[in-house]
Structure formats: structure tokens, C-alpha cells
Amino acid sequence: MFWYDHGMGGWGWVAMSFSMLLLVALAIAGVVLLLRSVDRFPSGPVQLPAAPSAKQVLAERFARGEIDEEEYEQRLTALRAHGPGQGRPGSGEN
């Protein structure tokens, strides 16, 4: 730059100004793209579908024909007797 009598020609100023504007525009575009990509991710915890209750599973098995009506009634009575969330100790079933 200093080889030409310590000065820069007119095109040098134009190129430097254009380069500075381009650099600022790229920096602004980078910030905008970064903010948009961060906004795409969910902000809260992922909600997983709730597991079906024991009564729903029992009803589905009865509907598919895996168990007969008598067994359905017996198991439904057992579920009602033990209440929600309580299993028979030592049964090995979840």
C-alpha cells in the first residue's frame, strides 16, 4: 500500500468500503441464521405418550380375543380389588 507514494487510489477506497460492507452483512446474516436455527428446537421437555393403564391393556386383549369373557371379568375384578398402581406381591407381573 505504501509503494505508491503513501496513498491509496480511488479504486482502493471503493474496494475497501465494499469489503467492509460485505463483512458487516455476512456477520448480520450469520447472527440471524444462528438465532433462527436455535428457535427450531423445542424449548421444553419432550412429552412422551402415556403408557396405557392395566384396564386398557386388559380391554384390548379381550377385544382381540386373547382372553375369554370369564378371564376378563376375573382379572378386572382383581384390578379393582388391588387398586391402581398396586400389584400382587410375588406375581412377577408388571
Residue-wise pLDDT for 4-30, tens only, equals 556 667 778 888 899 999 999 999 999
Residue 94 pLDDT class (50, 70, 90 cuts): very low
65-74 average pLDDT score: 93
Q: Is 61:67 a contact under the CB 8 Å cutoff?
A: yes
Other CB atoms within 10 A of residue 46 CB: 5
Q: Report pTM.
A: 0.40
Q: Is 58:79 a contact under the CB 8 Å cutoff?
A: yes
- Give the type of residue at 24: V
Residue 43 pLDDT class (50, 70, 90 cuts): low
Q: Is 37:54 a contact under the CB 8 Å cutoff?
A: no
Element spanning 80, H or E? helix 69-82
Q: Rounded to whole angstroms, how far apart are CA atoms 69 and 93? A: 21
